């Protein structure tokens, strides 16, 4: 297991617990543990009735014939026979009543510019965008790649695709041209929507130039639409004749009416690429009805959503958190939310707290890596602002260390806000293990109990229930992935490879305590969680070995004070070649180009060999021990024990 032992020790020692604050529980949608338990029991005993009842809260062009169809498991089908549309439920549904003039998006750009879009505004802008996409020939089922900064047009583009049944694939704007090309090629995207640039730490970073490099010679891409980010003149963009056009030109004369495509329940909604244990990212497939219901219901109960809330999720729409808990879940609930474009420390370390105070944010959802950065920057940045509007805090992305949890609770939450530590994944679509804020007593660092309808277990490889082992999900749930795009075999091999294919295997280790609470212990595969972003070590390794001087490489995750985990790369150089600063710089440039700057390793250690078993398998466990400067574990299966001694020496010399 790759769970870091120090993290495991700290969670094992952790026995503080916090009851839901009574002020909060009094008005909560689920206000005590009995109510949660009753709802949970029903959801497990009669899942179809439970989900069908919840689905009644949403709009359907046609109701379902069956709730769950298991005939093609593990590709489970939900709400077969039904027809609906996510954009309709996130926008049009709110136009009939008072929510029509409610702010949907309160957007703030990094330089301080701002925009507010009501649900009525959203409807108009989304319809125009959707008609524009139709004009350039985008139809139901076509793939559209989005490579945009955190500006309202990103949300508009997502909703416009959903409206006409085009399949969006959002590519986080930190990915490199090579990464964009891989994704665009994998799904044969027809259109890329990007912008001239976006603000980050006081500078405009160009995006269109990266897209140009990415789609050069890619035959499937017939159209590129460019949003001008605003603030004066656009960055210079080369507009390729017949392929590229400005968004403002495209939408200018479009009609403000665009009927929603009536989507079948299992029609594709989006693809989102994520890292796995091989070098090739997986296009995770999410479909329409089940995903809609799951993000709607988890948002409602886990954020205890009330119409007067001001909700702020600090994630980027480029990750699943932004899909489920910026776009679809909150908007299906008619939420008012903050979207902020830039860095948390621009122009100073207090930017987030200034935003919380300015807009009276009541629900705040962020990642442990951000919390640790705030902690390090010092309490004075928070003390300078009135944070009394906050009533609920959330975290997601990786296990949160109890120290950071306690700090979040005290300094951000003023000891009055429940914290929801939500465990879930790109693949699960929404929250799986999480406190229900008015009902579940929390423990620092613990994702606590399952969401309604979710049946987890901690199992051994053999499938026996154990106290510490591998997390499994025993029942299908509406938000679950339906596949890996174009690779059904990999879908089965990755997620249904254990326990005879009966249960979903998420790839995390877990522990269950005496109260039946689930503690996530980290990944059990070669996936590293850097700042809450999933990075497959094999992706970096395959970039390194493209260098003509590199023979082999192994990348492991090591604990990192702020990022949770950092990347430590071992690189062996072909005999006789030099390894020096020049090579190091070249390798870093290759990662920037091959994946993106956010995947840069913390350390690159050159060596003449890597520790291997007699059958030639790299022993990553020993590499992790070396990278952490720890006692080496069992070395008896090594083909050549000298290799680790040598590596250890090099590590000591290089990290002094």
Name the residues that contact ligand WT7, by CB under 6 A: 274, 320-321, 396-399, 421-426, 447, 506-508, 520, 523, 529, 532, 534
Measured from the CB atom, the residue of 261 and 421 that comes closer to ligand WT7 is 421
Measured from the CB atom, the residue of 33 and 274 that comes closer to ligand WT7 is 274
Q: Do 341 and 196 meet the contact criterion of CB atoms below 8 Å apart?
A: no
Minimum distance from residue 454 beta carbon to ligand WT7 (Å):
14
Minimum distance from residue 184 beta carbon to ligand WT7 (Å):
20
Alpha helices in 386-535 (DSSP H): 402-407, 488-495
Cα separations in angstroms, 215 against 133, 150, 235: 19, 22, 19
State the sign of the Cα–Cα–Cα–Cα dihedral 343, 345, 351, 356: positive
Minimum distance from residue 185 beta carbon to ligand WT7 (Å):
22
Virtual torsion, Cα 149, 310, 127, 247, nearest 10 deg = -20
Minimum distance from residue 521 beta carbon to ligand WT7 (Å):
8
d(CA 257, CA 125): 10
Measured from the CB atom, the residue of 146 and 263 that comes closer to ligand WT7 is 146
Three-state secondary-structure class, residue 9 = helix
| Residue in the shown chain whose Cβ atom is closest to ligand WT7 | 426
* Structure token digits, residue 156: 């508009």
Measured from the CB atom, the residue of 74 and 276 that comes closer to ligand WT7 is 276
* Structure token digits, residue 420: 């929801």
d(CA 353, CA 384): 8
Minimum distance from residue 443 beta carbon to ligand WT7 (Å):
13
Minimum distance from residue 480 beta carbon to ligand WT7 (Å):
13
d(CA 491, CA 379): 45
Minimum distance from residue 557 beta carbon to ligand WT7 (Å):
11
d(CA 394, CA 367): 8
Alpha helices in 56-151 (DSSP H): 86-90, 119-135
Minimum distance from residue 567 beta carbon to ligand WT7 (Å):
15
Other CB atoms within a 10 A radius of the CB of residue 124 amount to 16
Measured from the CB atom, the residue of 129 and 503 that comes closer to ligand WT7 is 503
Virtual torsion, Cα 443, 315, 271, 59, nearest 10 deg = 80
Element (H, E) at 53: helix 47-55
Measured from the CB atom, the residue of 195 and 531 that comes closer to ligand WT7 is 531
Measured from the CB atom, the residue of 190 and 282 that comes closer to ligand WT7 is 282
Burial of 287 from C-beta contacts in 10 A (0-12 / 13-18 / 19+): buried
Virtual torsion, Cα 367, 370, 372, 375, nearest 10 deg = -130
Measured from the CB atom, the residue of 111 and 279 that comes closer to ligand WT7 is 279
Three-state secondary-structure class, residue 106 = strand
Q: Between vectors from CA 336 to CA 332 and to CA 342, what angle results, nearest 5°? A: 110
Minimum distance from residue 449 beta carbon to ligand WT7 (Å):
13
Measured from the CB atom, the residue of 169 and 274 that comes closer to ligand WT7 is 274
d(CA 597, CA 589): 9
d(CA 336, CA 30): 21
Minimum distance from residue 487 beta carbon to ligand WT7 (Å):
17
Strand duo 83-84 + 103-108: pairing: unpaired
Measured from the CB atom, the residue of 290 and 399 that comes closer to ligand WT7 is 399
Minimum distance from residue 224 beta carbon to ligand WT7 (Å):
27
Measured from the CB atom, the residue of 87 and 433 that comes closer to ligand WT7 is 433
Burial of 365 from C-beta contacts in 10 A (0-12 / 13-18 / 19+): buried
Q: Do 160 and 129 meet the contact criterion of CB atoms below 8 Å apart?
A: yes
Minimum distance from residue 401 beta carbon to ligand WT7 (Å):
11
Measured from the CB atom, the residue of 67 and 420 that comes closer to ligand WT7 is 420
Other CB atoms within a 10 A radius of the CB of residue 242 amount to 8
Minimum distance from residue 323 beta carbon to ligand WT7 (Å):
9
Q: Between vectors from CA 293 to CA 103 and to CA 161, what angle results, nearest 5°? A: 65
Measured from the CB atom, the residue of 398 and 625 that comes closer to ligand WT7 is 398
């Amino acid at each position: 297991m790759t769970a870091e032992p120090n993290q495991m020790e700290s969670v094992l020692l952790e026995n503080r617990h916090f009851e839901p604050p009574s002020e909060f529980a009094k008005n909560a949608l689920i206000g005590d543990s009995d109510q949660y338990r009753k709802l949970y029991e029903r959801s497990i005993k009669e899942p179809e009735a439970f989900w069908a009842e919840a689905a009644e809260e949403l709009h359907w062009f046609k109701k379902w014939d069956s709730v769950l169809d298991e005939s093609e498991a593990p590709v489970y089908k939900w709400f077969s026979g039904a027809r609906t549309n996510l954009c309709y439920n996130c926008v049009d549904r709110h136009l009939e009543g008072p929510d029509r003039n409610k702010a949907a998006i309160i957007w703030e750009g990094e330089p301080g510019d701002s925009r507010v879009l009501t649900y009525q505004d959203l409807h108009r802008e989304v319809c125009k965008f959707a008609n524009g996409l139709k004009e350039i020939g985008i139809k139901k089922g076509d793939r559209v790649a989005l490579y945009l900064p955190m500006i309202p047009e990103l949300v508009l583009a997502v909703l416009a695709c959903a409206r006409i049944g085009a399949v969006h694939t959002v590519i986080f704007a930190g990915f490199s041209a090579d990464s964009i090309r891989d994704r665009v090629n994998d799904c044969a995207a027809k259109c890329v929507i990007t912008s001239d640039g976006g603000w980050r730490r006081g500078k405009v970073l160009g995006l269109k130039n990266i897209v140009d490099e990415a789609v050069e010679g890619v035959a499937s891409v017939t159209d590129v639409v460019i949003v001008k980010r605003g603030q004066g003149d656009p960055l210079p963009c080369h507009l390729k004749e017949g392929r590229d056009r400005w968004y403002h030109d495209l939408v200018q004369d479009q009609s403000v009416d665009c009927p929603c495509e009536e989507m079948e329940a299992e029609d594709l909604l989006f693809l989102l690429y994520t890292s796995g244990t091989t070098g090739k990212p997986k296009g995770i497939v999410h479909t329409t009805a089940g995903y809609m219901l799951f993000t709607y219901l988890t948002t409602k109960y886990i954020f205890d959503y009330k119409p007067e809330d001001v909700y702020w999720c600090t994630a980027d729409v480029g990750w699943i958190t932004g899909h489920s808990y910026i776009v679809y879940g909150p908007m299906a609930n008619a939420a008012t939310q903050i979207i902020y474009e830039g860095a948390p420390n621009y122009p100073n370390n207090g930017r987030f707290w200034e935003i919380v105070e300015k807009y009276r944010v009541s629900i705040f959802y962020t990642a442990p890596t951000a919390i640790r950065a705030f902690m390090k920057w010092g309490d004075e940045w928070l003390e300078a602002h009135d944070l009394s509007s906050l009533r609920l805090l959330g975290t997601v992305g990786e296990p949160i260390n109890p120290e950071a949890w306690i700090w979040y609770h005290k300094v951000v939450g003023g000891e009055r806000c429940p914290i929801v530590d939500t465990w879930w994944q790109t693949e699960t679509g929404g929250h799986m293990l999480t406190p229900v804020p008015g009902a579940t007593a929390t423990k620092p660092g613990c994702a606590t109990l399952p969401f309604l309808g979710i049946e987890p277990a901690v199992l051994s490889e053999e499938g026996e229930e154990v106290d510490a082992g591998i997390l499994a999900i025993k029942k299908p749930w509406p938000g679950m992935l339906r596949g890996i795009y174009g690779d059904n075999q990999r879908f089965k091999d990755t997620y249904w490879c254990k326990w005879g294919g009966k249960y979903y295997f998420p790839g995390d280790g877990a522990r269950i305590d005496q109260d039946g609470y689930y503690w996530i212990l980290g990944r059990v595969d070669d996936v590293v969680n850097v700042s809450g972003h999933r990075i497959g070590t094999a992706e970096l390794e395959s970039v390194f070995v493209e260098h003509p001087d590199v023979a082999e490489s192994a990348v492991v995750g090591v604990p990192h004070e702020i990022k949770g985990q950092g990347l430590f790369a071992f690189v062996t150089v072909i005999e006789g070649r030099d390894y020096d600063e020049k090579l190091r710089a070249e390798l870093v440039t290759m990662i920037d180009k091959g994946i993106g700057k956010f995947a840069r390793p913390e350390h690159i250690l050159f060596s003449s060999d890597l520790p291997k078993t007699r059958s030639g398998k790299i022993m990553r466990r020993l590499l992790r021990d070396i990278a952490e400067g720890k006692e080496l574990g069992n070395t008896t299966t090594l083909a050549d024990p000298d290799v680790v001694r040598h590596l250890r020496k090099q590590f000591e010399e290089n990290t002094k």
